[in-house]
Structure 1
């Protein structure tokens, strides 16, 4: 099921292009699958091998696999609507300020069309309590609604909405097997030698803002094994990830090639150029990704720690992702 050409590309990335380690898996609609792992869980401070139970920092795969999915589950329960204004669930947002952010909707946050900036160094603001308060009160400079700006800030606010609706912190939410917010460090792939934290990161989120908020936020903090993420891919492929209506909403393109949870196939996207119009997927900064091709009945997951020991390596992870997708789909026929 995994073509030799795909294996060769991954081998070259590890042996010649500086990639530390990779775990790759494929699954089809019949439930048949195959996996391939190579490289190392860590090279620094000492070499550590990968195994089938290695936890990977999923980075922005947190957005679709946790935050967007949980928002849609709340919608299924009738506790909120996607077109609710943000202020309906965060009444203390921009307290005693006039801002258009109050009227921006949950749908706009999910599709990255709320006009929020992409990122801000929240981890420099102070402790977690201060960051949480300032996130709601910061006078964000907004773009016009509708323009797609991929924004961690929007998903940070969605995480806050989830905590308010459920009445518990994100860390207390239930997760499927193979997903966790608290991985075993001894069985986790290392990410960066972090200049701010002064250590090689293993078993703690690579994302600075999520770490400053206690390790879990709406945009990052989720860890997964290859088997765990493949289970998510299988659920998406077989349309058992949410209710039929909610899953259709999660995967249907809405704005700028984005659905409520994923990125639709389009020129230059991470899944490669051989995907059909219904294909979708998502990636994470640490080197992770999940893709689903419904027309060919195939889904695949590539988990890497391409930021180890530094995010400033020479590997072109986007080119590798596209090449993997193209060789896999070409062999599928």
Structure 2
């Protein structure tokens, strides 16, 4: 525990500085090794408006895009391992109605593997929530929307579609599926890190999903998962302990991506000192998880950096990199 404690002391310093400077309301940093040893530290506020609440180690977080790797990627890869889907087949093998009014369009050729690695021509995001709040109609809109083809970018649409795959195969909405041990699709408003004072929902969001499209869809594959520092570290420890069983999430699909996860590249969120065997992912609300399989440790930084507004420079990008470099420094 001594090594982990010293790493935590060093790495929490920039988190504490960001909180004291008013950049983020609060944060939790947790580290775990492959033996299951772990340390955590917490500071700041889970909510500041309309009333203040202190953040604790039991505070729940809207994990945002960590949902992509903690839930959706895991489920899709399990289906591939079971032979239910072929990662190199088009997603139309499960979603035959996707853009079915034009059988020759490029959307119908997109594969599961391409969606996992963000190697598709979809745009990064489209505000589908602006079309209304009927989740069934929005699913139909997304499946029939005429997308503009562009260069491959990190796109929520890839994982919205993968979420539809899970729904179609399980014959239920994604919120009806088991989110996994220690995770949930919502949280107690009195024990959660609040996110945004939402303009269109007219309230401070606490315990309900921050992501606009996920909210309007009543659950989706790209966001919506809630968890605590303990549940995220439990997930990380299982991955570190079963390193050989995680081949695909460690297998590069591009210079920046594996199946679902990011891999090290210049300027990435995992800093400059992580090993080449590191994978990671971030969430818009201010969350993140990184696993270094070579060093045998993982860390999660959970913040509520969008509270009470996203329209503010929280400094989350340099903060994540500073924390990572402090953890991985000799």
Give the secondary-structure state (helix, strand or coil) at the position aligned to 2:41.
strand
Say whether residues 1:46 and 2:45 are aligned partners: no
Normalising by structure 2, report the TM-score: 0.95
Normalising by structure 1, report the TM-score: 0.94
5+ residue gaps, structure 1: none
Partner of 2:220: 217
Say whether residues 1:132 and 2:139 are aligned partners: yes
Partner of 1:299: 298
Partner of 1:163: 167
What is the alpha-carbon distance in structure 2 between the residues aligned to residue 82 and residue 7 of structure 1?
40
What RMSD, in angstroms, separates the aligned Cα atoms of the two structures? 1.3
2:105 to 79, 99, 116: 99
What is the alpha-carbon distance in structure 2 between the residues aligned to residue 16 and residue 203 of structure 1?
26
What is the alpha-carbon distance in structure 1 between the residues aligned to residue 268 and residue 313 of structure 2?
20
Deviation at 1:261, TM superposition (A): 1.6
5+ residue gaps, structure 2: none
Partner of 1:68: 73
Partner of 2:95: 90
What is the alpha-carbon distance in structure 2 between the residues aligned to residue 67 and residue 130 of structure 1?
22
1:232 to 212, 216, 235: 235
Say whether residues 1:184 and 2:188 are aligned partners: yes
What is the alpha-carbon distance in structure 2 between the residues aligned to residue 237 and residue 311 of structure 1?
33
Deviation at 1:177, TM superposition (A): 2.4
Q: For structure 1, which segment, 97-106 or 19-28, has the greater mean C-alpha deviation from structure 2 after superposition?
A: 97-106
What is the alpha-carbon distance in structure 1 between the residues aligned to residue 160 and residue 180 of structure 2?
21
Give the ranges of 4+ consecutive aligned residues of structure 1 lying more than 2 Å apart after TM superposition. 2-5
Partner of 1:316: 315
Deviation at 1:114, TM superposition (A): 1.4
Q: Is the 8 A contact 2:186 2:209 kept in 1?
A: no
Say whether residues 1:121 and 2:120 are aligned partners: no
Q: Is the 8 A contact 1:205 1:221 kept in 2?
A: yes
- Deviations along 1:66-94, one digit per CA (max 9) or x if unpaired, are 11110011112111010111211111111
What is the alpha-carbon distance in structure 1 between the residues aligned to residue 186 and residue 194 of structure 2?
14
Say whether residues 1:149 and 2:153 are aligned partners: yes
Q: Is the 8 A contact 2:122 2:152 kept in 1?
A: no
